[in-house]
Structure 1
Amino acid sequence: MPFLVHTEYETKRGFNYKFVAMVLGLLCLFQVMFLGISVGVSLYYKDSGLYSLLYTIGIDLIIGVTLYFLGRNHTEYDTGRREGMVTVSLSWVMMSLLGMMPYWLGGFIPNFSEAYFEAMSGFTTTGGTILGDIESLPRSILFWRSITQWIGGIGIIVFLVALIPFTGENASVVFDHETTGITHDRFVPRIGVMAKWITLIYVVLSILCALLLWAGPLSLYDAVCHAATCISTGGFSTYNTSIGDIDKDYTNIVLTIFMFIGATSFTLIYFATVRKEPKKLFQDSEFKWFVSIILLLSLISGLWLYFGGFYSSFGKAMEHAAFQVMSLISTTGYVIQDYNFWGGPFWVIALFLMFVAGCSGSTSGGLKMIRFNILTRNLLNEFKRRTHPQAIVPLRYNGTVIKEKVVNQVYNFFYAYLTIIFIATFSISLEGFSLTDAVSASIACISNSGPGLSAFGPMSNFSSLSDFNTMLMSFLMLIGRLEIFTVLTLLHRSFWRN
């Protein structure tokens, strides 16, 4: 449909493809910077990842410059919700397509669907892998693999908005559709300022985590790689057995602390640190539920591991239980021991933690603790309504009444979340996998938590899936990271009606 011009002061109506092209072009150029750092790692270690990284930079530059010039004069046209959803969805797809090139072009992951899965798992901070021998990859490729999770941790659009000054409402258009869901009140009036603060906090925490890990048993290279995948709650490791190859008390404690921070709302972290208002953090209902569940399930898991005979030391049982609970609820996916052998009771705990996950406004995936909080409170209120049909029982959160519209959104999200898990479970089970295999793989991917159970457990990988289901799991990771509706709305025909 042609654009309509109303006055010289109004912008043109229609789909602003120029804005979409401009943002995608900038993201390509943004990715080149991190690929360049990976090239530096390759040159330092003289490994075989150099040429695939250089080829990827060339492709990135060509596509980025082309899209950026196609997006010139994008301010002459209106930019709205449709452009925002398309831009954000295509951003993650495109970044993963280009991000897979070092794996694919270098022959390190020759299968296209598996290379794309690995890249999408990185950018969405899922942490699931198709690699059987991680340590066989060049250090520069493993570094790039870790950096993809760091980029995706707070969101690629958040980085872009923080670094590039957008005009008008354009920053809000893309920012809101990447950081979707129920979030805390914004702490600054402008989206650009918010993105800068989030990015600054993220960078400072990453550096601090790397320095603390380096002070322990890790080399600088391993410390940087693990810091990048820890604060982003991604979980990629440079070792085949994840953290099991390290398993030092000091390292476990540092990683546990930063997984906890990564799964906490960055808005609340801002208030507690920059604004020096820690009361906002400790008075927040979601945060209190988050901490309570971690403490309760860590204690239950530790007791089970000790009295179940899995550990002879109570202290070690509690340490490993707390680490694994934190890894699962933050959707990081680090592993110390193969919890496939920890028995059915821990499997139930693991599935619950992967399903619910961390706080809104954090780097973790899953249903989010705030939605679980609202669902639970509304269920308890329903008992009161049944007992007293005439009573008005408002649903309160942090002392504020939750609107019915918000409650409906939570239920719709919950329904869509379960439906997609059911469909994916059915698809995987057609390949002959057990129900446990299929359910855990589906939850692990849509919640961006990484490893699942049994055949897709912590010491296994996703390479046994067919190409179709590998791509399906990549799609689940994408919609899970963008909280379902941003992506699925694009598939509805009404979206494309002008």
Structure 2
Amino acid sequence: MQLLIVSRTSGLLASMFSLSLAVPVLVGLWYGEPVMRDFLLPLMVTLGAGLLLWLPGRKKQSRISRKDGFLIVTLFWGLLSFMGAWPLFLSLDLDFIDALFESASAITTTGATVITGLDDLPRSVLLYRQQLQWMGGMGLIVLGIAVLPMLGIGGMQLYRAEAPGPMKEEKMTPRLASTARALWLIYLSLTAACAFAYWAFGMEPFDAIAHSLSTVSTGGFSTHDASLSWFHSSQIEFVSVVFMLLASLNFGVHYLAIYHKAPRQYWEDVEARSFLILVLALVILVGLMLRLEGGYHELPPSLRDATFEVVSVITSTGFGTVDFTQWPDFLPVLLIFISFIGGCGGSTAGGMKVMRVLMLFKQGMREIRKLIHPNAILPVRLGHHVVDQRIMNAVWGFFAAYTVVFVVLMLLMIHAGLDQVSAFSAVATCMNNLGPGLGVVASNFQDVSDLGKWISILAMLLGRLEIFTILILLTPSFWKD
């Protein structure tokens, strides 16, 4: 364990975060809102703390080991949640646990909230919440990868620890820094295009920018309590659906489609194709159920609401135009279940990822065929490629760990005072980084106890860092040289 490298890297990343607080400062000054205590003070203190962490190891030249990478990522995401909570604590006079919950929810792009009355909040605070989600969407760690090599610190171990999805050894470009820069260029371009589209279809510039930050990050925070239903616009809903889907596709596929001018990649990629087919099937199913049993008199309105809510939930964004918890039959539970699938690996979406679910399904089908043909050699294939058994083992290990962690957290949530349905959906929405749930947590987490909020924060971080990044720190062998 190279503690000087860990300290130096964490300090650099903390300093980078502190400089991002200049954005709400400028917004507050533009709208004549107080910013000295709320944002400037945290900016200066966080920057100073980051520099203090950086100084001891500033001259040490060494590569980040795998252990260092896991420790840096976990420490930084926890530290970032605390740093992000400070401006919320000061500006909104929240209890500490509520400010920390809101910050962790934003940074992990969960979108669960304890705040109401958003329409009356200062615009600097509103944009700050959206900005936290946007930074968490692609990950400050990935941004650091583009900068760290210039400072003599390799970043591959950070990428493996932070990047979502089962195939973390793959890089889009030979050099990791180039990969990170390509990711961020795509991310910035999608955000700008989303903001322009929102503005073109009727949002005022502030709302357009704010909602583009939470759409492309699949975070789901809004500047209005009513979320996107506040705008009463089918065009805005259409823009949101398009960019939620784009953000939940693997950014590696975006890279191939854009840089190699090959749009066919979106259909040729097995995971992207499976994801889009699944979304279409779910929209048809939910739309027909709403038409038959949900009080809709025509099919187009039911398909419109079904499309928005299905896409919002499966991409783990959490925007809302209707209250899906009031839908008939099994639909509310179905939507919670599809949040477990989530988006594609290498995207900003949460959940277990389509690739993992697809491989689990194919493995299950293989075992059924082996019962019929016990001597047959039946490899698991994705498209024309045979899946390495090492990857299959990792997927099964992830699924087992996910299940055990989910059960433990749900039992703790019940102990913290929630009923069974609320406890189940609270853990599901936090681990899958979704936001809305069922029961007590259908609209917000205000009525959850402090213990329940601590458990929720842990669930958000476990989900965002895909469980193993945190669990590995709990093993005694990790700390042995």
TM value normalised by structure 2? 0.97
Is residue 18 from structure 1 mapped to residue 1 from structure 2 by the alignment?
Answer: no
* CA distance in 2: counterparts of 1:341 and 1:34, whole angstroms: 39
CA contact (8 A) 2:166 2:394 kept: no
Distance apart, 1:423 and its partner CA: 1.3
| Residue aligning to 1:176 | 160
- 1:481 matched to which residue of 2? 464
Please name the residue that 2:329 is paired with: 344
Distance of 1:312 and 1:67 partners within structure 2: 62
Tell whether the 8 Å contact from 1:330 to 1:358 is kept in structure 2 after alignment.
Answer: yes
Q: Is the 8 A contact 1:302 1:321 kept in 2?
A: yes
Q: CA deviation at 1:313?
A: 3.3
Counterpart pick for 1:453 among 427, 438, 451: 438
Supply the RMSD in Å over aligned alpha carbons: 1.5
Note if 1:423 corresponds to 2:408: yes
**What is the CA-CA distance between 1:269 and the residue it aligns to?**
0.5
Match of 2:363 among 373, 378, 392: 378
Q: Once the 2 structures are TM-superposed, how far is the Cα of residue 289 of structure 1 from its aligned partner?
A: 1.1
Instruction: Decide which moves more: 327-336 or 428-437.
Output: 428-437
Query: Given residue 157 of structure 1, which amino acid in structure 2 is its aligned partner?
Result: I
Which range moves more in the overlay, 272-281 or 331-340?
272-281
Q: 1:496 aligned to 2:479?
A: yes
Contact 1:162 1:199 in 2 (8 A): no
Separation of aligned partners in 2, 1:180 and 1:299: 29
Q: Name the SS for the 1:315 alignment partner.
A: helix
- The letter for the 1-side match of 2:149 is P
Residue equivalent to 1:465? 448
**Corresponding position of 1:361:** 346
Percent identity for Structure 1 against Structure 2: 33
Q: CA deviation at 1:396?
A: 0.8
Say if 2:165 and 2:353, in contact at 8 Å, map to a contact too: no
Whole-angstrom distance in 1 between the partners of 2:268 and 2:448: 45
Partner of 2:94: 110
Q: What CA deviation, in whole Å up to 9, does each residue of 1:28-47 have, x standing for no partner?
A: 22112321011010011112
Code of the aligned partner of 1:156: L
Q: Single out whichever of 162-171 and 462-471 deviates more from structure 2.
A: 162-171
Which residue of 2 is the match for residue 82 of structure 1? Answer: 67
Which of 150, 158, 174 is the aligned partner of 2:134? 150
Report what 2:266 is aligned to: 281
CA contact (8 A) 1:126 1:448 kept: yes
Aligned residue runs from structure 1 range 44-59, under 5 A: 44-59=30-45
Show the counterpart of 2:56: 70
Report deviation, 1:71: 2.4
Code of the aligned partner of 1:475:
L
Mean CA deviation greater in 402-411 or 43-52: 43-52
**Equivalence for 1:217:** 202
Contact 1:297 1:349 in 2 (8 A): no
Shift of residue 126, structure 1, vs aligned partner: 0.6
* Helix, strand or coil at the partner of 2:345: coil
Q: Deviations over 1:313-355 (max 9, x none)?
A: 3212111110110000100000001111112321232122111
TM-superposed CA distance for 1:74, in Å, is 2.6
Q: Which amino acid letter does the alignment assign opposite residue 111 of structure 1?
A: D
Listed one character per residue, the Cα deviations across residues 116-170 of structure 1 (whole Å, up to 9, x for unaligned) are 1111111111101111222232110111000000001111111122244346772
Query: Secondary structure at the residue paired with 2:352?
Result: coil
Report the CA distance between 1:49 and its aligned residue.
4.7
Return the match for 1:37 from 23, 30, 43. Answer: 23
Distance in 1 (alpha carbons) for counterparts of 2:94 and 2:100: 10
CA distance in 2: counterparts of 1:407 and 1:299, whole angstroms: 31
Cα distance in 1, alignment partners of residues 13 and 329 from structure 2: 44
Q: Contact 1:49–1:102 at 8 Å: present in 2 too?
A: no
Q: Which moved more, 1:251-260 or 1:164-173?
A: 164-173
Consecutive unaligned residues in structure 1, runs of 5 or more = 1-14
Paired residue type of 1:37: V
Alignment partner for residue 263 of structure 1, among 235, 238, 248? 248
Match of 1:405 among 387, 390, 402: 390
When structure 1 is superposed on structure 2, of 265-274 and 28-37 the one drifting more is 28-37
5+ residue gaps, structure 2: none
1:461-493 Cα offsets, whole Å, 9 max, x none, are 112122222111111111111111011100111
Q: Distance in 2 between matches of 1:425 and 1:219?
A: 41
- Scaled by the length of structure 1, what TM-score is found? 0.93
- What SS class does the counterpart of residue 155 from structure 2 fall into? helix
Indicate the residue corresponding to 1:93 in structure 2: 78
Q: Which amino acid aligns with 2:438?
A: L
Q: Which residue of 2 aligns with 1:28?
A: 14
Q: 1:197 aligns with which of 182, 204, 207?
A: 182
Distance 2:36 2:148 in 1: 29
Contact 2:294–2:327 (CA under 8 A) maintained in structure 1: no
* Counterpart in the other structure of 2:47: 61
What is the CA–CA distance in structure 1 between the aligned matches of 2:226 and 2:469, rounded to whole Å? 35
